[in-house]
Amino acid sequence: MADSQTPASVPDFSAVMTGDKAFQLAGRAARYTVLYFYPKDNTPGCTTESIAFRELHDQFLDAGTEIYGISRDSLRSHEGFKSKLGLPFELISDPQELVCLQFGVMKMKNMYGKQVRGVERSTFVIDAEGRLVKEWRGVKVPDHADEVLEFVKSQPQQ
C-alpha cells in the first residue's frame, strides 16, 4: 500500500473497454481515477458492487473522479452487463489478465471446496499524476462504494 507521504507511481497501461473506447491511464483529466476489479459479470456480488458505484456516480463526478470496472470478462459480456444495469461508466476488459497482474489481484480462492484462480475484489484510487493514493484489497461489497467516495471527497483539492 502506498502511504500518503510518498504515493507510488502506477505504470501507464492501456486496455479495451465498453463503448468502443480505449482506456489509457496516462493523461487522464480527472482529479482521481477509481479502478474497481471484480471477479465476473452477472454474479450477485459483482452486480451489487456495480450498482453501488452506479448509484454514487454523480457524486464521484462532483468530486472530480472517474470510475472504471475491470474484470477478465469479454467486451461482449461487459456490454451486456453495462446495458442490463444501466451503468454510466465504462468497463475494462482484461481477458489476458495483464492489468489484473499489474495490480496483483489474481489470487487462489476457495470455491465450493476447490482451489480456483480468480480476481480478488479490489479497488484502487489513482491521482491525476498517476500515483496510487489508496487501495482496498479483499473488498467486502456492503458500503464499499460509499467508503471510496468518502475517501476521494476527503482529499485536499489539487
* Mean pLDDT confidence for 111-128: 91
Q: Say whether pTM exceeds 0.85.
A: yes
Our separate counts of H helices and E strands in the chain read: 5, 10
**Cell numbers at 74, concatenated:** 469479454
pLDDT band at 116 (very low <50, low <70, confident <90, very high): confident
pLDDT (tens digit, 9 = 90+) per residue, 142-154?
Answer: 999 999 999 999 9
Q: What share of the chain has pLDDT > 70, as a percent?
A: 95
In a domain, residue 6? The reply is: no
pLDDT band at 127 (very low <50, low <70, confident <90, very high): very high
- Which residue, 128, 110, 111, 115, is CA-closest to 34? 128
In a domain, residue 141? The reply is: yes
CA distance 119 to 65: 24
**Cell numbers at 79, concatenated:** 456490454
Q: Residue 154: what pLDDT?
A: 95
pLDDT (tens digit, 9 = 90+) per residue, 33-80?
Answer: 999 999 999 999 999 999 999 999 999 999 999 999 999 999 999 999
- The CATH number assigned to the domain holding 58 equals 3.40.30.10
In a domain, residue 2? The reply is: no
Residue 100 known to be catalytic: no
CA distance 110 to 86: 31
* Mean pLDDT confidence for 3-29: 86
Q: Residue 31: what pLDDT?
A: 93
Domain of 94, in residue numbers:
14-23+30-154
Q: Residue 29: what pLDDT?
A: 83
Phi/psi of residue 9, nearest 5 degrees:
-75, 140
In a domain, residue 96? The reply is: yes
Whole-number average pLDDT of the chain:
92
Q: Residue 56: what pLDDT?
A: 98
Task: Please identify which of the residues 10, 25, 34, 46 carries the catalytic annotation.
Answer: 46
In a domain, residue 3? The reply is: no
Count of structural domains, the chain: 1
8 Å CB contact between 105 and 97:
no
